[in-house]
Amino acid sequence: MSILKDIFAGKYCLWVFILIAVIITVINFLPGNLRNILLIIFFFVIGGLCLYNYKVCGRVHCQITGYGFLLVGILALLGILEIIDIGNILNVMILAVLIIGFGYEFLYKNKKGTCYKK
């Protein structure tokens, strides 16, 4: 098992979630534009990592959360550029991505007996 597979899909998965929550919390305390830029970078990075993890280990939720976080990053960027008005729904979008991703994985695992597509 590769180290990335072990970190994102194995025994360290809970710590990765805690780290993500801490990063988002710290970023939210930064001033306006710096916070917004770092959040956008964060969403693109975490979306890319989810998609990479899906390619490496095949966990079902990674495909949904990967594209979902990339979409959140794009919407946040469009909001900062004032192309669209996203208001204060960023946290709702993050929660929706997580609920849909892990909800689908839960249903998939109950049906197939595994949370891996590979």
Longest dimension (CA), the chain: 46
- Residue 54 inside a domain? The answer is yes
Of all residues in the chain, the percent with pLDDT exceeding 70 is 86
Answer yes or no: is 118 within a domain. Answer: no
Distance, C-alpha 102 to centroid of its chain: 11
Q: What pLDDT is stored for residue 96 in this prediction? A: 93
Q: What is the pLDDT of residue 13?
A: 63
| pLDDT, tens digit, 9 for 90 and up, residues 65-106 | 999 999 999 999 998 888 988 877 888 898 899 899 989 988
**Contacts of 77 by beta carbon, 8 Å cutoff, 6+ apart:** 40
| Number of domains into which the chain is organized | 1
Q: Range of 31's domain?
A: 3-112
104 within a domain of the structure (yes/no)? yes
Distance CA 2, CA 97 (A): 26
The predicted structure's pLDDT at residue 5: 52
The answer, yes or no, to whether residue 32 has pLDDT greater than 50, is: yes
Whether residue 117 is contained in a domain is answered as: no
Residue 43 CB contacts under 8 Å (≥ 6 apart), including other chains: 69, 70, 72, 73, 76
- The reported pLDDT for the residue numbered 107 is 92
Q: What is the pLDDT of residue 1?
A: 45
pTM of the model: 0.79
